[in-house]
Amino acid sequence: MPEINYRDAMNRALREALDENEVAYIIGEDIGPYGGTYAVTQGLYDEYGPSRIKDAPLSESAIVGAGIGSALLGMKPIVEIMTINFSLLAMDQIVNHAAKLRYMSAGKMEVPLIIRMVTGGGAQLGATHSQNFEGWYASVPGLTVVAPSTPYDALGLFRTSRAMRDPVIFVEHAMLYSVRGDVPEEHYSIPIGMADVKKSGDDVTIVAHSRMVNVAMGAAQELERMGISAEIVDLRSLRPLDMDTVIKSVEKTHNVIVLEETWKTGGFGGEIASQIVEKGFNFLDSPVMRIGGEDVPAPYTYVLEGLAFPDIERVINGVRSLLGR
């Protein structure tokens, strides 16, 4: 199976979307001749031209609104918000409008819109450019929030997102773009709302999404050497949330860590932890442990930034302290 990186998987996903539907188009900031801040749209402008690859002014709200309005009339917009931090400038359109129109119109208004946004820290971009807000969006009924961690999942989940008749927040992590993985040439797709056991294990379950899956995988490798077998559950989407897979894993391992990159206070991990307690309390041998980002604005210098986000070492220490080993 050919190995490609996450960026190329997304580029392929976008090409397919444009090739397979003539009313599909991409809109975003600097996605044209510039090629996109993270180069995901590289080459598309030359190939598809300005009407399919719409370079838009720096107007997040108008960009998302353009997506909503054109989706209402049958187009298939793919909106790129340069980073999830800037999506706050479009939050009115996303939360108050895109997410609500189907409900408020009793099903007559339909917004089949994909909003791609780049999440996460770890690149020394400082406090305004290193945040993870996908958990916020996941609390909104009407939105679907997808956050793939591998190139395979990214392509497979994007294909399914395109079939959705409602708004999808498609979250890509900046630090994942160069990560490589197997992606088959032949067609496949992945249903939204199904978590994936990325590594099977017996002693402890680690629940994560996006880049934290890779951190968990790194930790699990080290833990194997210490004789501790960790099971990694990649949520892949935060809404819908596949708690069945999580609970099944907890039933097997009896110990669980909920790992996330964002601030623990109010973080989406709190929702997952509480659902584990509600639905799987009797399976637990130890309290649910949460590992998340420190409750600080992300600092710039790497010495401090490294302390702000969960890393392999912290996950290992967490597992060992939870299991007392």
Q: Which residues are catalytic?
A: 60, 129
Helix locations, the chain, DSSP H = 6-20, 44-48, 60-72, 91, 101-104, 134-138, 151-163, 211-225, 243-253, 268-280, 302-308, 312-323
Residue 223 in the binding site for another protein (CB under 8 A):
no
Q: Please count the helices (runs of H) and the strands (runs of E) in the chain.
A: 12, 14
Note whether 296 and 235 are within 8 A (CB): no
In the bound state with another protein, the residue whose beta carbon lies nearer, of 54 and 254, is: 54
Residue 73 in the binding site for another protein (CB under 8 A):
yes
The CB-of-101 to another protein minimum distance in angstroms stands at 7
Which of 28, 32, 36, 65 touches another protein by CB under 8 A?
A: 65
Cα separation, 310 vs 74, whole angstroms? 42
H or E segment and range at residue 5: strand 3-5
Binding residues for another protein, total number by CB under 8 A: 44
Tokens of 61: 């709200």
Residue 34 in the binding site for another protein (CB under 8 A):
no
In the bound state with another protein, the residue whose beta carbon lies nearer, of 237 and 253, is: 237
Residue 109 in the binding site for another protein (CB under 8 A):
yes
Which of 37, 42, 70, 286 touches another protein by CB under 8 A?
A: 70
Residue 108 in the binding site for another protein (CB under 8 A):
yes
Distance of CA 96 to the CA centre of its chain: 21
Note whether 78 and 27 are within 8 A (CB): yes
Tokens of 18: 């444009």
Cα separation, 8 vs 187, whole angstroms? 16
In the bound state with another protein, the residue whose beta carbon lies nearer, of 114 and 308, is: 114
Q: Rule CB under 8 A: which of 191-220 touch another protein?
A: 192
Q: Rule CB under 8 A: which of 280-319 touch another protein?
A: none
Q: Rule CB under 8 A: which of 226-265 touch another protein?
A: none
In the bound state with another protein, the residue whose beta carbon lies nearer, of 12 and 102, is: 102
Binding string, residues 146-165; x marks residues near another protein by CB under 8 A: --------------x--xxx
Residue 92 in the binding site for another protein (CB under 8 A):
yes
Nearest to 272 by CA among 295, 250, 251, 241: 241
- Where does this chain touch another protein (CB under 8 A) — which range of 35-43, 69-77, 266-274, 302-310? 69-77
In the bound state with another protein, the residue whose beta carbon lies nearer, of 53 and 298, is: 53
Which of 21, 59, 178, 274 touches another protein by CB under 8 A?
A: 59
Nearest to 276 by CA among 258, 293, 253, 252: 258
Which position has the token pair 């069945």? 244
CA atoms within 13 A on the CB side of 254: 5
Residue 66 in the binding site for another protein (CB under 8 A):
yes
In the bound state with another protein, the residue whose beta carbon lies nearer, of 75 and 289, is: 75
The residues, ordered by sequence, that sit 6+ positions from 150 with a Cβ below 8 Å of its Cβ are 6, 179, 181, 213
Which residues are near another protein by CB under 8 A? 23, 51, 56-57, 59, 61-75, 77, 92-93, 96-97, 101-110, 141-142, 144, 160, 163-166, 192
